Structure 1
Amino acid sequence: MYRGSNGEYIFRNNQDKELYLFLVDKYKERYGFKLYAYCIMDNHVHLLIETGKVPLSKIMQGIQQSYTQRINLKHSRTGHVFQQRYKALLCDWESYLLQLVKYIHLNPVEAWIYNGLNYKWSSHQDYLKVNKKSVVEVEFILEMLGGDIKRGVKEYRRFMNLDQGKMELSEFVLDEKKVHATVEEFKGLACFSC
C-alpha cells in the first residue's frame, strides 16, 4: 500500500488529484489497460484495473514517476512522494470484482468524508451518469450487473444500497481467503492501493 513519504499527504489539493487522474488517463491510453473504479484520497489511491500486454509494474512505474516529478516541481520539493511500492491483489472472478468496486466507492464513507459516497474524487458518480465522459469503463460492470446499461445502473444503485437511503458497511468485508496472490506482474484484474 502506498503512503506518502514521511507520513505526508500524496495530494495536497484538488489540483494534485486532477493531475493524478490526468496521468492515469494518459497511461491508460499509452499502455491499453482498463480502469473499472478509482478513489483518490489525500493519503492513498485505489484503482481497479485490468492489464493488457503491458505489465502492472510498468504501468504503475509510469504513473508514479510522472506524478512524483510534476509534484516535486510544482511544490518546490525533492525526493520521493510515495513511501514504498504499491500493493496489488489479483482478482480472478466476477463476484469479487463487484465487491472491489463497492469497497473502492465506499472508501470516503468509511473515512467520514463530507459527501461520502458522492465524493468528487471517486468513480461512483460515473456509474450513475453513464453518458458523461469518463476515464472509467463503467459499461463492463453495469452490463455484468444488469445485462444492459439501463438495468445495470438500476442494479448498481441497489448493489450500493442507494435506494434504501442507508449504507451498511458491515455488509462488505474483503475475505482474505479470496485473495490468491500479491502480484508484481500479471495479466488480469488488479486492485491496488497507493
Structure 2
Amino acid sequence: MSRKYKFYNPEGLYFVSFAVVGWLDVFTRNVYRNLFIASLVYCQREKGLELHAWCIMTNHVHLIFRSVKGQPPELLIGDIKRFTSKSIVKAIKENYRESRREFLLDFFKREAERSSNVVGYQFWRHDNQPFELWSNRIIKQKIRYIHNNPVKAGLVYRAEDYVYSSAIDYAGQKGLIADVVVYESYS
C-alpha cells in the first residue's frame, strides 16, 4: 500500500487524524502540545492552513482544514508532521526532567530503523487517514467527533472545557489558536 497521502481535491475541506508511533502518550505534557500548536499557527500565517476544527489528544491529533494558498494539502500536512516531529523529539532530548526520555527516544529510534524512509527518529505514524468533507451533515458529524474526543476519553465533562481543542471557539469564546474558521452551519 502506498504511503502517499490520498488528498484528491487540492481545494477540498479535509478531516485528518494522525497518531504518534506506538500510540505513545506524548501529548500529556503541555510543552509538547504547545509545540504542535505553534506549528499550526505558523502554517496558518505562512502556508495557507485554514483551520476549521482541531483537537490534540494524548497520542493523536485531529484536524479539519483546507489549504488556501495553493499548496497541496498533503504537502501542508507533511510540513506539519515533519516540523513537529523534529521539534518534539528535540524537546524530549533536551528535557532532562522528562521521566520517559530514554524510553521515548529509544522507541522513536527503533521505529525509524524499521522504516525505509526515516532517518534518526520516527515520531508520527505514516498514515493520516484523510477524508474529504463534502456535505453539511458530514462536516457537522466530524466536528462533533473531534470535539467529543476528550469527553469520551473522560478528560472533561463538556467539550468546550478541553483547552487543547477548538470546541471553545464553537461555544462562542476564543481558544488557544486564533483565526479558527468556525463552520457557520454548525448548530
Q: TM-score, normalised by structure 2?
A: 0.69
In the alignment of these two chains, the number of paired residues is 143
- 1:75 CA displacement: 0.8
Matched, 1:67 2:109: no
Judged with a 3 Å threshold, the aligned counterparts in structure 2 of structure 1 residues 124 and 4 are, in CA distance, closer, same or farther, namely same
1:73-114 deviations in Å (ceiling 9; x for gaps):
111145011122211001112221112111111111111113
Structure 2 residue aligned with 1:113: 155
Q: Is the contact between residue 3 and residue 10 of structure 1 (CA under 8 Å) also seen in structure 2?
A: no
AA partner of residue 82 (structure 2): Q
Distance between the aligned counterparts of 2:156 and 2:149, measured in 1?
A: 12
Deviation at 1:131, TM superposition (A): 6.0
AA in 1 matched with 2:169: D
C-alpha change, 1:13 and 1:115, in structure 2 (3 Å) is farther
Identity %: 22
CA distance in 2, matches of 1:13, 1:116: 21
Structure 1 segments of 4+ aligned residues over 4 angstroms from their partners: 130-133
Matched, 1:92 2:134: yes
Is the counterpart of residue 26 in structure 1 residue 42 in structure 2?
yes
Q: Which runs of 5+ in 1 are unaligned?
A: 146-155, 157-194
Single out whichever of 98-107 and 38-47 deviates more from structure 2: 98-107
**Bigger mean CA deviation after superposition, 69-78 or 6-15:** 6-15
Higher RCO (C-alpha 8 Å, min separation 6): 1
The reply to whether residue 122 of structure 1 matches residue 165 of structure 2 is: yes
- Please report how far the alpha carbon of residue 19 of structure 1 lies from its aligned counterpart in structure 2 after TM superposition: 1.3
Distance change in 2, residues 1:106/1:7 (3 Å) = closer
User: What secondary structure, in the 3-state scheme, does the structure 1 residue paired with 2:165 have?
Assistant: coil
Unaligned 5+ runs, structure 2: 1-16, 94-104, 106-119
Map of 1:55 onto structure 2: 72
> Aligned-residue CA RMSD in angstroms?
2.0
The answer to whether the 8 A contact 2:28-2:58 is kept is: yes
